[in-house]
Amino acid sequence: MNDFTYKDNALYCENVPVKAIADKFPTPFYLYSYATFMDHFRKIKKAFEAVDPLICFSMKSNSNLSIARALVREGAGLDIVSGGELFKALKVGCPADRIVYASVGKTEAEIESAIRSNILFFNVESVPELIMIDTVSRRLKEKPRVALRVNPDVSADTHEYITTGKKENKFGIDFTTAEDIFDNENKYSNVSLEGIHVHIGSQITDTEPFVKAISKVIEFLEKSAVSVKWLNIGGGFGITYGQEKAKTAEEFASRIIPLVKGKGFRLILEPGRFIIGNAGILVAKVLYIKTTSGGKRFAIVNAGMNDLIRPSLYDAYHEITPVVKLRSETHMYDIVGPICESGDFLGKNRELPELVEDEYLAVMSTGAYGFAMASNYNSRPRPAELLVKNGRVRVIRRAETYKDLISCEKMLKELK
């Protein structure tokens, strides 16, 4: 479900025409629907209510303060992967006992600040990291909670760059090493070993990979007679980008709940994309229509791979649609950005109503890993983020300026 719908050929975000927003705010911009992401969060909560999980929104998918704060106020925790995300999580008022921290490369300073903040637990990804957490804890005279992130060697049937649970991936600890850690718990006496974490990848549209991974974890716990307080099954619930058929929260829940219910631990989920993916669009303006003698049509727009890298990086498909559908004749277009790379495209070979200069296009389902992965490549200021809630449009991140582009730089006077 999402609240981006057409009424009389005009795209609306909830009850606000997107064209009216684009006429008011400079393009490109990201536009989010509050009702949509709240609905997705509540759908997961309801689907899993039989096991009352802690749902930690994955900040890496979208770390805008307003969005994280809205979800935290609704009862969400946060899944973080860096000191920066910890800073933002605390800033939005997330109770520390609802913050979980994954990442293969936590630095000593990041570990120290997470311990001082008393987060719920670290998802530990290697033995050296566990030793580092134990060492820092001893120095601080603290005893933080940790969960071992295991690598179940399960294929997630998704893009190889977002598959994380195969043995050749850098993430997690194999079962043999995990068993060894549990058997030698006393070696790590400055941490409290309380959970297991497993995250096999992102944009997983089938239930089977989850069933396989969770079953392997449960089998491991039973075989090695290990009991834990927490089982964190990560994120990864896939969404529809237009072509694939994704599962509903109930469908995921109906396969997962029987595996975990009554096992004595509390379940944690870390969804990102499922909550915010379809709740955001990127609105851009057509700058030029370029045709080649070979008969190719390019719609060159004012958003590029620096604003949305998913098509270039993962060959990801995003539906692209006119904000107002005016014409019935259609053509095939490549929708491309202004960046100096042939890989700078938002969509290729798209049949669209004839496009004209200055009209607005919406790149759909860009709420997750959209702005979060944006950069200043080609010295382009990053776009604004806007939020529609109850018919009001609010700026939740202003567009960057040229001044922002140089705010961290120094022009050395002695370099002539």
Question: Which positions touch ligand PLP (CB under 6 A)?
Answer: 58, 60-61, 79, 102, 199, 202-203, 234-237, 270-274, 368
User: Omega of the bond prior to 28 within 30 degrees of 0, cis?
Assistant: yes
- C-beta closer to ligand PLP: residue 167 or 187: 167
**Cβ neighbours, 10 Å, residue 136:** 22
The least CB distance from residue 180 to ligand PLP, in Å, is 23
Nearest in space to 396 (alpha carbons), one of 27, 19, 68: 68
CA dihedral 208, 211, 214, 217 (to 10 degrees): -90
- C-beta closer to ligand PLP: residue 61 or 365: 61
Q: Which amino acid is it at 69? A: R
- C-beta closer to ligand PLP: residue 209 or 347: 209
The least CB distance from residue 30 to ligand PLP, in Å, is 16
Query: Are 284 and 46 a contacting pair, CB within 8 Å?
Result: no
Known active-site residue 340: yes
Query: Are 213 and 154 a contacting pair, CB within 8 Å?
Result: yes
Query: CA geometry: angle at 360 spanning 355 and 366, to 5°?
Result: 115
- C-beta closer to ligand PLP: residue 78 or 361: 78
CA distance 63 to 75: 17
The least CB distance from residue 137 to ligand PLP, in Å, is 22
The least CB distance from residue 203 to ligand PLP, in Å, is 6
Catalytic residue among 13, 56, 94, 340: 340
| 3-state SS, residue 349 | strand
CA distance 59 to 369: 10
CA distance 357 to 336: 14
Hunting for tokens 């979800």 — which residue is that?
Answer: 71
- C-beta closer to ligand PLP: residue 274 or 345: 274
The least CB distance from residue 367 to ligand PLP, in Å, is 10
**Could you give the residue numbers annotated as active site?**
340
